[in-house]
Amino acid sequence: MGLELYLDLLSQPCRAVYIFAKKNDIPFELRIVDLIKGVMFPVFLGEPVSPQTLAATLAELDVTLQLLEDKFLQNKAFLTGPHISLADLVAITELMHPVGAGCQVFEGRPKLATWRQRVEAAVGE
């Protein structure tokens, strides 16, 4: 299977990724995501989320964190090598969303926790 892009085209960053892939002739399979119907909007609105949906979302987050560690961070100081890059800044800001919702994504992940400390040392908390 090739590249799959999960995007909500109402989102400016998603549109940027979509345009970049199209413009650079990167083959991909578009997977439309409706963020308004997703898990996070009900949480922000104070609405209940079903336990099944929450469990599935947390399981997916765990897989994503493992992928971030194994495929992108590997044994490097930062995601793209020995120096901080835009990739690190984008990744750390995205990981802070679940942290803000009370999900401790860095617990039990010493590699990610150390990476976070390096990013914060480079740019500040």
> What confidence score (pLDDT) does residue 101 get?
75
Structural domains of the chain, ranges and CATH numbers in brackets: 3-123 (1.20.1050.10)
How is residue 119 written in tokens? 């990013």
> What is this structure's pTM?
0.64
Residue 14 CA to residue 83 CA, distance in Å, equals 26
* Each residue's pLDDT tens digit, 31-79: 888 776 655 556 556 677 788 988 898 899 999 999 999 999 999 999 9
| 81 secondary structure, DSSP code | B
Structure tokens, 118: 């390096």
For 74-84, the pLDDT digits (tens) are 999 999 999 98
23 three-class SS: helix
Structure tokens at 28: 């991909």
